[in-house]
């Protein structure tokens, strides 16, 4: 990889802090965790957090846990738990321990009673609206609840009654007793427990009160002995509360450190917005290759190694920023270039006939599987007198800097022969139906014995042997690099109508045996992924992962229109 290797550990404010904690003896062994809520699928933003958490643990010889932050049964589901585990493993990480916040419910509850007995928490009878109304605003202080001064004994009884199911949903709530005038609204007597007579995917019907995030997260971290609790910037204002709970309980207090979440051009990484795209059928499900979900990226053909390399390269800071999608694509190409087998495929075919080719003869030519990897070997590809080439590789009246086929020009057919264009056949409408050529039999394999050179090598496929297959061409899902800040928040207006195009390609026959999950480079075109979802035996379906860099096209766009 071209990015910083593991031998030269990254330096950033988090790692600096960890080094300092290790040096001072505050921390013996680093323990981190990735704590997703199982209420949705993981996306690229999570990949950054996962890469960070696991990489740091590894770099410092520590451990990293995977913990389901499953404290709200309303939105969570076992399906997501399974999907999250699979996605983390797909990225290439393995947790040292798998935990569930729900498994800590007994301990967390015991701690709640402790706080009540210390006079640091109370049961409030107010409903949600009343609590919201009395919380005050960003500029005005809140008002104390009429229940705020209940005695510890009464509060304890009430809390036990809550736990025992004596109250209906929303009837009572347990609150921390901090300061209703605090500048940080999170400190204005935050709710710790709410009543939810609801089945939990892990604890079943054992509980009818569930802890809020703030009242479960830090405690879970503490139980697991997390040393550095990494999270995104929006939790900064929660840190005082995180600390307050641990301090009030007198338990081990992990260090919460916040970092900026990952933003990438043309991508949306908000569970809510992704949900709108999926439910509104603007994409074909959570694993649509145009989505930044890990499952979508997988089906797009983005190698996990490339994603991780990207996440490492991106670094970590406290400044919100948006990365160019080109950087992601660089890492994808970088990995695929070294690992993807080369094949030939013509996506927009035009017929090419070699007039002096021996009638009916088919020759099997040797083709390299990967010039970047000599161990990849070679394969045989059928070559014949009637071929298909890419329409854009021929021009009847080419500009001077067009190197490909044109009347009177000679080019190399990759791994085949030199051919010279002698003319074209057209239909009544003037469209080119056939490009006529002659070949030089002495240039077998692509080299001329007389040493003459050609300026271009183009790819081809034998018309009689070509595999007709579905190829899906993807582009950015949005027309704007920043769909999140769409006019009036309506990012749906920015959907790119060309984000998915389906074509029938003409592929070299060996691709008939492509298996779902395999990645190829269609020479001179791009990287393609054999979709494991829709491919059938003998009928593979390919997804364009990313195109090859095309300096010819770039020059065209710059010069012309």
Active site members:
37, 261, 271
Query: In the complex with RNA, which residue's Cβ is closer, 6 or 250?
Result: 6
Nearer to RNA, 314 or 514 (CB): 314
String marking each residue 333-372 x if it binds RNA according to CB under 7 A: xx--x----x---------------------------xxx
Q: What is the DSSP letter of 330?
A: H
* Site mask for RNA (CB under 7 A), range 48-77, x = bound: ---------------------x-xx-xx--
Could you say which residues in the range 75-134 bind RNA, by CB under 7 A?
75, 126-128, 131-132
- Identity of the residue, 186 or 438, whose beta carbon is nearer to RNA in the bound complex: 186
Q: How far is the CB of 504 from RNA (least distance, A)?
A: 21
Nearer to RNA, 63 or 414 (CB): 414
Distance CA 57, CA 225 (A): 13
Nearest to residue 98, comparing CAs of 16, 24, 148, 36? 36
Based on CB atoms, which residue is closest to RNA, 319 or 374?
A: 319
Size of the site for RNA (CB under 7 A): 93
Question: Is residue 191 part of the contact set for RNA (CB under 7 A)?
Answer: yes
Kindly tell me which residue out of 114, 144, 157, 186 binds RNA, with binding defined by CB under 7 A.
Answer: 186
For residue 34, state whether it binds RNA (rule: CB under 7 A).
no
User: How many residues in the chain?
Assistant: 561
Q: Which helix (H) or strand (E) holds 229?
A: strand 228-232
Q: Does 373 bind RNA (CB under 7 A)?
A: no
Residues 6+ apart with CB under 8 A from 111: 219, 249, 251
Nearer to RNA, 287 or 523 (CB): 523
Residue 429 burial (CB count, 10 A): 6
The whole-angstrom separation of Cα 56 and Cα 48 is 12
Token pair for 92: 């290439």
Closer CB to RNA, 458 or 500, in the complex: 458
Q: Does 523 bind RNA (CB under 7 A)?
A: yes
**Residue 480 interacting with RNA (CB under 7 A):** no
Q: Kindly state whether residue 396 participates in binding RNA, applying the rule CB under 7 A.
A: no
For residue 155, state whether it binds RNA (rule: CB under 7 A).
Answer: no
Kindly indicate which of the ranges 6-14, 41-49, 154-162, 290-298 contains the residues binding RNA, using the contact rule CB under 7 A. 6-14
What's the closest the beta carbon of residue 228 comes to RNA, in angstroms?
Answer: 16
Q: 431: helix, coil or strand?
A: coil
First to last CA, the chain: 37
Across 391-431, the runs of DSSP E, i.e. the strands, are 410-413, 418-426
Least gap, CB of 153 to RNA (angstroms) = 22
Does 375 participate in binding RNA (rule CB under 7 A)? no
Contact between 415 and RNA (CB under 7 A)? Answer: yes
Distance CA 77, CA 70 (A): 9
Residues 213-272 that bind RNA (CB under 7 A): 213-214, 216-217, 233-238, 260
Range 13-32, binding RNA (CB under 7 A): 13, 16
How many Å apart are CA 431 and CA 113, to the nearest integer?
A: 83
Q: Does 11 bind RNA (CB under 7 A)?
A: yes
Q: Report in angstroms how near the CB of residue 536 gets to RNA at its nearest.
A: 28
- Which of residues 28, 29, 321, 433 is near RNA by CB under 7 A? 321
Give the other-Cβ count within 10 Å of 533's Cβ.
12
C-alpha torsion angle, residues 72, 75, 81, 84 (rounded to 10): -110
408, HSE (Cβ side, Cα atoms, 13 Å): 3
Is residue 549 part of the contact set for RNA (CB under 7 A)? Answer: yes
| Paired strand residues for 351 | 388, 434
Sign of the alpha-carbon dihedral angle for 35, 267, 40, 518:
negative
Structure token digits, residue 385: 């007198």
The window from 25-33, 90-98, 291-299, 412-420 that contacts RNA (CB under 7 A) reads 412-420
Determine how many CB atoms are found less than 10 A away from the CB of residue 494: 20
Residue 470 within binding range of RNA, rule CB under 7 A: no
The whole-angstrom separation of Cα 187 and Cα 242 is: 10
Residue 276 touching RNA (CB under 7 A): no
User: CB neighbours (10 Å) of residue 213?
Assistant: 16
- Residue 319 touching RNA (CB under 7 A): yes
Residue located via tokens 């080439």: 389
For RNA, give the closer residue by CB, 80 or 500.
Answer: 80
| Binding flags for RNA, 422-461, as an x/- string (CB under 7 A) | -----------------------xxx--------xxx---
For the bound state, the minimum distance from the C-beta of residue 540 to RNA, rounded and expressed in Å, comes to 20
- Rounded Cα distance, 185 and 197, in Å: 28
Helix (H) or strand (E) holding 309: helix 304-314
Torsion of CA 493, 499, 504, 510, to 10 degrees: -160
């Amino acid at each position: 990889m071209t990015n910083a290797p593991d031998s030269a550990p990254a330096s950033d404010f988090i790692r600096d802090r960890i080094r300092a904690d290790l040096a001072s003896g505050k921390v013996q062994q680093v323990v981190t965790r990735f704590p997703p809520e199982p209420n949705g699928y993981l996306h690229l933003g999570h990949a950054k957090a996962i890469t960070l958490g696991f990489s740091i643990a590894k770099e410092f010889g520590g451990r990293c846990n995977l913990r389901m932050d499953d404290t709200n049964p309303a939105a969570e589901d076992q399906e997501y738990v399974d999907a999250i585990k699979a996605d983390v493993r797909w990225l290439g990480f393995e947790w040292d321990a798998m935990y569930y916040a729900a498994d800590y419910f007994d301990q967390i509850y015991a701690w709640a009673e402790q706080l009540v007995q210390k006079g640091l928490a109370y049961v409030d009878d107010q409903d949600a609206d009343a609590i919201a109304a009395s919380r005050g605003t960003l500029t005005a202080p809140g008002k104390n609840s009429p229940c705020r001064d209940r005695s510890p004994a009464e509060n304890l009884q009430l809390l036990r009654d809550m736990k025992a199911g004596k109250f209906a949903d929303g009837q009572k709530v347990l609150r921390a007793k901090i300061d209703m005038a605090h500048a940080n609204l999170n400190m204005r007597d935050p709710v710790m427990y709410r009543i939810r007579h609801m089945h939990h995917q892990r604890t079943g019907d054992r509980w009818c009160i569930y802890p809020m995030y703030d009242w479960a997260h830090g405690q879970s971290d503490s139980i697991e002995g997390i040393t550095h609790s990494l999270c995104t910037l929006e939790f900064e204002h929660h840190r005082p509360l995180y600390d307050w709970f641990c301090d009030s309980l007198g338990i081990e207090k992990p260090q919460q450190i916040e970092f900026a979440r990952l933003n990438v051009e043309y991508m949306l990484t908000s569970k809510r917005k992704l949900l709108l795209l999926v439910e509104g059928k603007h994409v074909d499900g959570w694993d649509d290759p145009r989505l930044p979900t890990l499952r979508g990226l997988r089906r797009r053909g983005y190698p996990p190694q490339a994603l991780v390399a990207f996440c490492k390269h991106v670094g970590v800071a406290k400044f919100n920023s948006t990365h160019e999608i080109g950087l992601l694509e660089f890492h994808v190409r970088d990995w695929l270039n070294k690992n993807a087998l080369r094949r030939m495929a013509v996506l927009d075919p035009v017929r090419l006939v070699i007039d002096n080719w021996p009638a009916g003869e088919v020759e099997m030519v040797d083709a390299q599987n990967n010039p970047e990897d000599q161990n990849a070997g070679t394969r045989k590809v059928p070559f014949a007198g009637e071929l298909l080439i890419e329409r854009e590789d021929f021009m009847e009246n080419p500009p001077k800097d067009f190197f490909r086929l044109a009347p009177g020009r000679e080019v190399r057919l990759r791994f085949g022969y030199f051919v010279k264009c002698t003319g074209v056949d057209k239909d009544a409408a003037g469209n080119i139906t056939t490009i006529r050529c002659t070949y030089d039999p002495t240039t077998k394999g692509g080299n001329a014995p007389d040493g003459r050179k050609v300026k271009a090598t183009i790819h081809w496929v034998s018309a009689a042997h070509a595999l007709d297959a579905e190829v899906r061409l993807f582009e950015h899902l949005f027309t704007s690099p920043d769909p999140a800040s769409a006019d009036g928040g309506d990012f749906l207006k920015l959907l790119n109508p060309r984000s998915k195009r389906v074509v029938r390609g003409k592929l070299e026959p060996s691709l008939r045996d492509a298996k779902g999950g395999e990645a190829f480079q269609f020479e001179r075109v791009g990287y393609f992924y054999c979709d494991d979802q829709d491919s059938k035996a003998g009928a593979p379906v390919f997804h364009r992962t990313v195109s090859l860099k095309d300096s010819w096209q770039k020059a065209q766009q710059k010069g012309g229109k």
